[in-house]
Structure 1
Amino acid sequence: MSTEPSSVNPETLESTKKQIRGLIQEIAQLSKRDVPPEQYFKDVLPKVVSALAAVGGAAWIYDDQRRPQLIYQINLSRGLVDPNGEEGVRHLRLIDSMFKGAEAQLLAPQSGGAEEGSAGNPTNQLLVIAPIQVENKVEGVIEIFQRPNSAPNSQRGYLRFLEQMCGLATDWFKTRKLADFNDRQSLWSKIEQFSRAVHENLDLRQTAYTIANEGRRLIGCDRVSVVLRRGSWKVEAVSGQDVFDARSSQVQLLGKLASRVIETGEPFWFNGHTEDLSPQLETAVHNYVDESHTKTIAVIPLRRPEHATDNLKREDEELERQFQGEILGALVVEQIEDSSQQEEFSKGVELISEHSSRALANAIDYNSIPLTPVWRLLGRSKVLVTARNLPKTVLVIAAVAAVIAALFLIPAPFKVSGAATLTPVVQRDVFVNVEGEVIEVPVDHGDHVAQGQLVARLRNTELERQYKQLIGDREKTASTLQALEFRKRRPETMRNAADATQLTIDLGQARQKYDNLNDQVLLLEEKMKRLEVLSPIEGEVVTWDVRDNLMQRPVQPGQVMMTVIDPKQEWILEIRMPEKRIQHIQYALEHQPDSEQLEVTYIMASDPGRQLTGHVTEIQRLAQPDQAEGQIVKLKVAIDKQDIQHLRAGATATAKVHCGTAPLGYTWFHELFEFVESRVLF
């Protein structure tokens, strides 16, 4: 060992040590984070290379198949990872030997075994390599390419430093594994909860809803649906919806898509690409995606588990083999907003498919037993027919029978209700006739206006420009016309026949042009008059903040500027009656005397304590859509405006139309009867 004093500046040496300690501290902090391997080694390896002032380096870990995988590298030659090249073979065998338990080592440039293709260092740099061990198993390898001209003590220092860094990486692997174990424990808990929930009930519909709701919670997707055979394949349950419209276009298209997938018998995954699909399936996918805007769809046929038929006795073994694997339904999983986590999404779908198949098979087998509802009811009611409870049971049955008889036999007034609005008979909207900018609004909310009174003034700079141009052209044409007439009156002009003829032609053209320009000016003046908006009737302005809403704002033809009503005239109540209730009103009209009108009782929202009356005068013949009620039919009701203390256009009310009498049960539950008729019996 040399005993010569070091030529390195002590201050520089101390600064370098301080930087290295800082890098070690940073690597230690990074090793405590739960980050993916790519991110961890991307952050750590550059710091190790920097601390050693090395040429480059590489980090290797096991992939899912327990094979060495290059996870990050700095200045690593491509030849060192080429499995077909001589350098690559030697280098990759060295990495493989490290994963098999070789210890940390220093490899001189171009060193290795004498045999062809043996493990070694095929580079011209000093190779410092060390394993990352977790519980006596090698999980990764870090190699550093260093300059070869360093002293032996320095090289051994490189190796000790790299071993220390691999020790820190071991801490990261442990943190990663612990987080992975926690995630798996959480996942298995969710799977256990899902399995317990779907097997809790043997009711087929309830099982389908449990699969949809609990499956959505387990997968973390946007929507899960269950499709079962109801004659044809139909959507039975949708997550998050206790009741859904089975006749809606989206539900119908989803049922068609599931039917196409079930016909193939194979799981179907869609994430925006439809290559290699049959035309029928491609059409079904596009139709549903256009309606639902789904980014990712998985349709998984749910088959009967094979062991579910082991105990079935069949004479024909071939028939039994065909029955095994029968498709019971389909699981439809959708991701509407984000489809980036495709791998986790796929794993979640696979996890719930098997449990869902078994739960549906059990529910279908149970519900296929003849008279299952009757046996279930008898099992629950056995205690009611014991000797001690029999008198009470008889009394209860008699009471229930009396109530049912009363519901069918006792007549009661039958009324149908709807939301209503108070409206004056004379009411007009003030429309814009000409495009322009509002420069004056002399009226405001609550002002009284006369018919033909100015309520707004507009300005259209383009019309003004055209008007000035036409006036100028007309004046210019008039001057030309005067000059031609003056020439015509001169005798010397008329002596020459050719000049006289040309003058006559020019004079005729000038007169025609003047007349055309004059007509255009008159039309433009008429149009400019419409910039002054007038009230169509005498009445009161009821539009709120009309001046603030219109001033200095552009308006277009057909736009409503304000509404004017005549409060002195009659007022009516306009009922928005749902279309499903209009049949009762029509029936009442057909079965009452011609001289009588249907009575209406109503209460105003502003005065709910007073019940007022009116009568129907007109029924709309065209149904129209309404956001709140769906399809509606409007009814006009004549009222006495003196009954209402404060008349206010647009005031709301609740109105009931009297439709005669009906059995008490139908009066109370007619909407339930109609629901059963339209949704169950139809």
Structure 2
Amino acid sequence: MSTTPATAPASPNSSSGGGSDDARSRYARQIEDAFESAGKLAGSTLSPTEFYQQFLNRTLQAIDAPAGAVWLRTPQGFLQLACQENIDKVGLDTRRGGRQCHNEVLRQVFQTAPPRPILLEPNGRMAPGPGEPGPVPPANLTDHFALFAPILSTEKQPIGVLEVFQDATHDPRMYPTYLNYAFQMAGYASQYHSFSNARVAAGVEKTYAQVETFARHIHSSLNPTEVAYHVANEGRKLIECDRLCVGIRHDRSRVTVEAVSGADVVEKASTHVRRLRLLMQSVLQWGEALTFKGEKDAGLPPAVAHALDEYLHESQPKLLIVQPVRDEREKDKTKPARAVLVLECYNPPEQTDPIVQRLEVVTTHAAPALYNAAEMRRVPLKFLWWPIAKLQDGIGGKGRFIAAAVAVLLAVLVGVMVMVPADLRMEAKGQMLPVEIAKVFPPREGQIQEIRTKPGDTLSPGYEIATLFSSPFADEYGKASNELREANAMVDAAAETLAKATGMKEDDKLRTVAEKKNAEQRRDKALQDLRTQDAQYNAGRPNRLGYFRACAPQFDPQLARPLDRSRWTVLNDDRRENLIGRTLRPNEDIMRLGNLEGAWQAELKIPQRNIGQVLKAFADPDSHLIEKDPVRGDRKYLVVDVLLSSQPDKSYEGRLYRDDVAAEAVPNKNEHDENEPVVTAYVKLNVAGIPEENWVPRNHFITGLEVRTRVRCGKHALGYTLFHGVWEWFYEKVVFFI
């Protein structure tokens, strides 16, 4: 089949038969309506997607075409499908190479000069064009007529192709008419693009308004970071690029990346930002704009070329422009510009001149704003404006000025750390306890029958706390009781025999007297055993057979205490439900008692890493104090700051005596998160010599209350006081092994 161009189509109203005339008349009316609808669509403000969808539907409906498509040129110069209708049902893929031949037809139609419509019959080939032939021949390998009409710009250059597939069942004389119709409809699509370009030109005024708004934003602040973010984010919208970065030079050469469009925070430690900063810095030192369009210029300075290569390893833009931003007030041309912009596009258009022009507009407005902000940044304090600015310039920039200031501050800080003394305080946790604490144990193994106390009860020494029962004890006590009864019976029998011994022989009398003495010895021994058992298990008072008592212990007679308030207090919770009926051994306590009205102390668990400083303070005469005691002699002690958990806003004072520090480290069983050994020590509270305003109020004396303490271990240098742990770690891990 040959290619048929559109030439003088036959009129749809010409007669060649009755049925044919009716079809032509109907198509003529439909085509006129389609032209009217296409004219309205061409002048509308629809988006290209919506326009072409409605345009294609109207084009196909007018001639009852089963399928069609619109192809448009991309910025890279390729044809891309804009919309289609049933294009997959015409059989492009049913024959081998059908899709490739169809694409070659599109390419030939698009490149034909001058542009003209093309009609291909079913299974027809297109005549070779003047252009370069493709890998496959241009052909229509379908069972439909294929109509191709170019969409032109105002300069008569092709910008797209309208494609229509028509059934092969129509009168052959109708197909030229269909081709002419498709060509005229493509003209309406060209009108739509012309009107769109006019609207774009009319939008220039809007662009000027955006530039004015951009200028107001960037001049609204003197903070370099804020100005840079306005330039980056608002400038990217004006330029229509993918990313815009802003860098500012704050000293002689070093550049800081102040803003990256679309990023809230600039991670200055990241590799991408560091390489971006080096690229900005090298371009500023060079003094000219750098433009990269996929190929690096061989004439670039080595520093710029190296920085560009390093940055391209992190980012792969197809268009990269690094533009120095110099304000007109920067008179010294030998110095680098105050700021720099970096523009990046990953899919730029073929013509990049509009982007460069918009970048120049942004640069012109951004230059004074960035210069003002950078100059203001150089002033640390307003009342020190000029002196410090001159000092910075004389030293060599802000970086050197800060370095000198930091050096002076470090020297002063080191002097303070070495020369100023401070108390070295070791921390330890503990709990409040009365000095007199006792645990009540069963005198022997037995089963708890009764507990006569409740939590918080006050008891006198010797008070019966619990009653226990033991079968072995019942056997022992019953055996002693039986022995006593038998011995008494034997004594009474011997005494009665002697009383009636009038005619008794001397030998019998002597034997009876000996038996009486033996019985009396057995009786005395049995009686002594019973009294011993009563004293040991029943507090000297007889009890029921097999039952014995657990009683409150006596107070230590060597400790001074108020006699009228010397009573034990039950410290445990209610344990009756758990203990009654349970058999206890002598090493299992029944109850814990304390003298709450007597002296109190804090039981500390001093970690092993701190006990060395405490012992060192006791050994150093200048670090501890001495208490004169006429009874115990001189006693070394350290002052302890006590903080109660029940009153965390006030500290109290206590004393840690040398003889109250244990000589053995034990595992810390109370804290599961700390496994290091601890040394137990006892801090005395409210003792004579401590000012009464530093005494712990008695209403805060609660057994087991957590306390935090700091043991004062004498005066040391402030640096050692604050960082002694660091020095000890360094000595242990480094110096010791060296």
What range describes the TM-score normalised by the shorter chain of this pair? Answer: 0.3 to 0.5
Please give the TM-score of this superposition, normalised by the length of structure 1. 0.39
Higher helix share: 1
Please give the TM-score of this superposition, normalised by the length of structure 2. 0.36
